[in-house]
Structure 1
Amino acid sequence: MQKLSSLLLLAAISTPYAQAEGWYGSSKLNSTRQNLSSALLTSPRVTHQIDAPDSNKAFTGSFAAGYAFAEGWRLEGEYTTRNSSTFDAYWAPFNANVNRLEVDSQRLMLNGYKNIPLNDWLSFYGMAGVGVAQIDTEGYQGNPNRQFASNRQYNFAYSVGLGLDAKVSEKLTLGTGWRYVDMGPVETGYNTFVNRANAKDEQLKGKLKEQNVFFEARLSF
C-alpha cells in the first residue's frame, strides 16, 4: 500500500495536466437525493414533531459551458434542471393529519474546479460553486382541499464536491463525482384553510439540501 501511494504521488508530480486550455461544454446525469432539515410547522398549537420528513430521490440533468485554464483550473456556468420533491410530516396535537410540503427547485451556478493529474489520461479534482436556486413550494394539511398558499423564492446556493476525470480523446472527457448542495431555507405561504383558531397563522418551513452522484461528458471546442 505504501509503495502504491508513492507511485501515485510520483505520477501526480511528474505528469503534466492532460486537458488542453480552451472552451468546453458538458452535461451531467445526476442521481439526486434531497433532504429537508430543520422542518417546521409554524402554528401556536403544535407541541412536538411526531414524524420528520423523509428524503426524496430522483434523476436530474445539468448543462454547463466553461473555460479550461492552465495548471488544471476550470471555471463554468451550470444550469441544473427542475427537481420535484415531496416531504410528509406529522405534528402533535395534529398527528392524525399529514402536513405535506411539495418543493420544485432548479438552479444556476458558477463552478470552479482544480484538477490534479494522476497520469496522462486520469485526473482527480475538487470543486466549489455558488449561485441562485429558484424554489417553488406548496402543500396541504390532511387532504388537498386544505392548502397552504404557494410561494416562489430565489435563494443563495452553494456546493462542494469531488470527482474523477478520464480523458478519452483530445476532445472528449468522461467523469464521475459527488457533490453537496445547500439551497437554504424554504417555506410555503400561510394556510388558506380555516383552522381551529380561525387564523392565518400556519405554514410549512425547512432547509433544502441535496447530494448528487453524477456522470459527466465534457467536450472541448
Structure 2
Amino acid sequence: MQKLSLALLLAAIATPAAQAEGWYGSAKLNSARQNLSSSLLTSPRVSERVDAPDSTKTFTSSFAVGYAFREGWRVEGEYTLPSNSTFKSYWAPFNANVNSLHTQSQRLMLNGYKDIPINPWLSFYGMAGVGVARIATDGYQSNETRRFASNRQHNLAYSLGLGLDAKVTEELTLGVGYRYVAMGDVETGYNTFANRINARDEQLKGKLKEQNLFLEARVAF
C-alpha cells in the first residue's frame, strides 16, 4: 500500500500540467544593464579611444497582453517603459574631453514563448522576440555647453531569453527570467558647438544592448 501511494505521488509530480488556453496579462519588473558597444566619435581629428563607455544599470517596467495556446506555446505583445542611460568615453589626443552620450529607449515587442512543464505547478520556458525600439539620443563634450544635437530614431530590436514559472493559482503565475535585447545602432546629431576648425562634423555613435533580470506576474483572464 505504501509503495502504491509513493508511486502515485511520483507519477503526479512527474505528470506535466495541462496547459490552460486563453488570454492573459502580465507585468515585469526589469533590472536592466545597458551597454554601448562599438562606440565611435566620428571626427577626423581623433586617433583612438582611451576609455570605453561604462555600462549602466537601471530599473524599468513592462506590460504585456498575450494568448496561451495548448502544448505550451504563448504569443504576446509587450511594451517596455522608457529607460535612461548615460555613457562616457575619452578619445586621444583630447584625453581631457569627456564625451557623454545619453539615451532614452523604449520598446514595443512581439514575443513568443515555449513552456516546458517540470511538474503540475513549475515550468521552464524559452522565449524570443522581435519589434521596434524607439531611442532618443543627445550628448555633450567636456561640459553641458558643448552639445551634440539631439536625435530620435526607430530601430529593429530582437530579444532572446529563458525563465522559470510557478503556477500559484489557476489564474496567477509568478516567474523569474533573463533576456538579452539588441536595439541596433544609435547616434546623436552633429556638434552644435564650434570645434577647432569651426565645422559641424562630429557626433557620437554606438550599438545599444541590454541584459534583463526580471520578476513577472501573469494573470489569466
TM range (shorter): over 0.9
Root-mean-square deviation (CA, aligned residues, Å) is: 1.5
Alignment of 1:67-216 (within 5 A): 67-216=67-216
CA distance in 2, matches of 1:135, 1:26: 24
Larger relative strand fraction? 2
CA distance in 1, matches of 2:54, 2:16: 46
Percent identity at matched positions? 76
CA distance in 1, matches of 2:19, 2:179: 22
Whether the 8 Å CA contact 1:115–1:124 is kept in 2: the answer is yes
Q: Number of matched residues?
A: 212
Letter of the 2:124 partner, please give it: F
Cross-structure match for 1:3: none
Q: CA deviation at 1:93?
A: 1.1
Cross-structure match for 1:61: 61
Cross-structure match for 2:27: 27
> Which secondary structure does the structure 2 equivalent of 1:95 belong to?
strand
| Larger CA Rg, structure 1 vs 2 | 2
User: Deviation string for 1:70-114 (max 9, x for gaps)?
Assistant: 000000000000000000000011111100000000000000000
**Which runs of 5 or more structure 2 residues have no equivalent in the other structure?**
1-9
Cross-structure match for 1:46: 46
TM-score (norm 2): 0.93
User: Deviation string for 1:144-202 (max 9, x for gaps)?
Assistant: 00000000000000000000000000000000000000000000000000000111110
> Which secondary structure does the structure 2 equivalent of 1:24 belong to?
strand
Q: CA deviation at 1:14?
A: 5.5
**Which runs of 5 or more structure 1 residues have no equivalent in the other structure?**
1-9
TM-score (norm 1): 0.93
Whether the 8 Å CA contact 1:18–1:167 is kept in 2: the answer is no
Letter of the 1:127 partner, please give it: M
CA distance in 2, matches of 1:164, 1:195: 53
CA distance in 2, matches of 1:19, 1:81: 30
Letter of the 1:135 partner, please give it: I
CA distance in 2, matches of 1:182, 1:167: 30
Change (3 A) 1:217 1:19: farther
Whether the 8 Å CA contact 1:17–1:116 is kept in 2: the answer is no
User: Deviation string for 1:5-55 (max 9, x for gaps)?
Assistant: xxxxx98x9523344100000000000000000000000000000011000
> Which secondary structure does the structure 2 equivalent of 1:71 belong to?
helix
> Which secondary structure does the structure 1 equivalent of 2:95 belong to?
coil
